[in-house]
Amino acid sequence: MFIKISPVGLVVCALAWGGPAVSLFVAHSVDAAGMPPAASQIVLASHKALYSVTLTSTRPGSDYIDVSGKMVLEFTDACDAWTTNQKSLLRTVNGEGVEEVSNSDFAAWENKAGDDYKFSVRQTQNGDVSEFRGRARRSGPNDAGAVDYTKPEHRSYKLPPHFLFQTAQQVKLIEYAQKGGRFLSGEMFDGSEGGGAARFNAIVLKQPTSETPGTSVKSPLLDTPSHRVRVAFFAPAGTDDDNEPAAIADNEQPEYEMTMTVHDNGVVSDYDYDYEDFSVHGTLQAIQIIQRPHC
């Protein structure tokens, strides 16, 4: 599971995978050609998890003096698809003592074939509401595709060849880390920020371990090898007038970077987000297994 946090409002998107610990299944990832391999060996866990978010540092000139919140993630293997639901609450306080509270609801459905994805995002901050809703499909040459938004307005964007939907991206990253890979980059679409696919660069920081740093929670879901991974996320592409994916300049800075401890079953036991103005830490407070539906 990846957890994606907006710097001005809590979490816009969570990325997770399914498959309960007591009823295992084979997950499908997407290879370099954009197609799922015949038999991936990644086994993932359907689960519900609670995280707390706290401020760890601020940059010189930052206007934030406190950031705190909660996030509840629920991920389920729905037989031929994965579903993700996330509800978040974030409180920020600036240097003048002004407090702002934001709420975020994210829901996504992604089929395991890797060619169909539905999403809905609703974020409220001090009474102001923003929404993204739509559907994306892989159908073009070289496994390209397109996304059609119905909110906030009807608009379409092209998706580049070999892009990944959110769960397929995470399966691919775990597979890569298991094989001893260090660097991985690509383009991913989740719909959380509008526009098209977003570029990501990932670095696997250390080899798998059975330790679970960053949390005191005890659960069979955490008794699996883990990887420490850092991922840089860039702004969504495809916002040109012709809706073509925009190239990333060599000197372009990411919107934010995330460092996480991700287990081979997809569970994230802790994470850190670094933004331009501040950094936050996410701590796992509770987790439970969700039984897989009978398929």
Q: Where are the domains of the chain?
A: 2-289
Mean predicted confidence (pLDDT) in 174-180 = 92
pLDDT for the residue 37: 37
* Phi then psi dihedrals of residue 76, to 5 deg: -135, 135
Specify the pairing of strand 164-165 against strand 128-138. Answer: unpaired
Distance CA 130, CA 122 (A): 6
Distance CA 275, CA 270 (A): 17
Helix ranges (DSSP H) in 74-149: none
Is 25 in a helix, a strand, or coil? Answer: coil
Q: Which of 201, 244, 233, 166 is nearest to 2 (CA)?
A: 166
Query: pLDDT over 90 for what percent of the chain?
Result: 58
Mean predicted confidence (pLDDT) in 218-246 = 77
Q: Is the pLDDT at 96 greater than 50, yes or no?
A: yes
Tell me the whole-structure pTM to 2 decimals.
0.81
Sorting pLDDT into bands at 50, 70 and 90, what band is 2?
low
User: Tokens at residue 31, please?
Assistant: 């290879």
Is 275 in a helix, a strand, or coil? Answer: coil
Mean predicted confidence (pLDDT) in 240-256 = 60
Mean predicted confidence (pLDDT) in 10-22 = 32
N residues, the chain: 295
Q: Is the pLDDT at 162 greater than 50, yes or no?
A: yes
8 against 165, higher pLDDT: 165
**Maximum C-alpha span of the chain:** 57
Q: Is the pLDDT at 236 greater than 50, yes or no?
A: yes
**97: which strand partners?**
none
Q: Is the pLDDT at 219 greater than 50, yes or no?
A: yes
* Residues 6+ away with beta carbon under 8 Å from 283: 51, 52, 54, 214, 215, 270
The burial of 41, by beta-carbon neighbours within 10 Å (0-12 exposed, 13-18 middle, 19 or more buried), is given as exposed
Mean predicted confidence (pLDDT) in 145-172 = 94
pLDDT for the residue 207: 64
pLDDT for the residue 235: 86
Mean predicted confidence (pLDDT) in 228-242 = 74
pLDDT for the residue 117: 98
pLDDT, tens digit, 9 for 90 and up, residues 106-146: 999 999 999 999 999 999 988 899 999 999 999 877 899 99
Specify the pairing of strand 128-138 against strand 116-125. Answer: antiparallel
pLDDT for the residue 91: 93
CA geometry: angle 259, 30, 212, nearest 5 deg: 30
